[in-house]
Amino acid sequence: MNATESSRATRGLDDAVATRPGEKYLFRLYVAGATARSRQSLRRVCQLCEAELKGKYDLEVIDVYQQPELTRDDQIVATPTLVKVRPLPMRRAIGNLANAADLFVGLDVVGIDR
């Protein structure tokens, strides 16, 4: 299998996993303390998830000051960082989470079965 075929096969597998019926999305939002920026990021992510994924997601909020071991394990280098853990492939959005439309496209949250 050459590189192009491998890329197509991987993309096809990613699409199949991403659209598996009944599977909830799992997101992790990494924030740094109870700052205004952290609260704003959490509010944006919650609003977007509720608007687009009603009942089909779980959101874990991780304060990097309270749980630094998770920061190291998940290789978080900046906050806020939103990680789509499930379905695979894992994707990350780092920094300003203001542009909601681009955020979910970047995390590969498309083709949601409502």
Question: pLDDT tens across 51-109, in order?
Answer: 889 889 999 999 999 999 988 878 899 999 999 999 999 899 888 777 766 777 878 88
Question: Exposed (0-12), middle (13-18) or buried (19+): which is 64, by Cβ within 10 Å?
Answer: buried
DSSP-derived letter for residue 79 is S
Q: What is the pLDDT of residue 7?
A: 43
Confidence of residue 110 (pLDDT cuts 50, 70, 90): low
SS3 annotation, 81-103: EEEEEECCCCEEEECCCCCHHHH
- Structural domains of the chain ordered from first start: 3-106 (3.40.30.10)
d(CA 44, CA 99): 9
Pairing of strands 81-86, 25-31: antiparallel
Q: Mean pLDDT across the stretch 15-25?
A: 63
Q: Mean pLDDT across the stretch 17-44?
A: 85
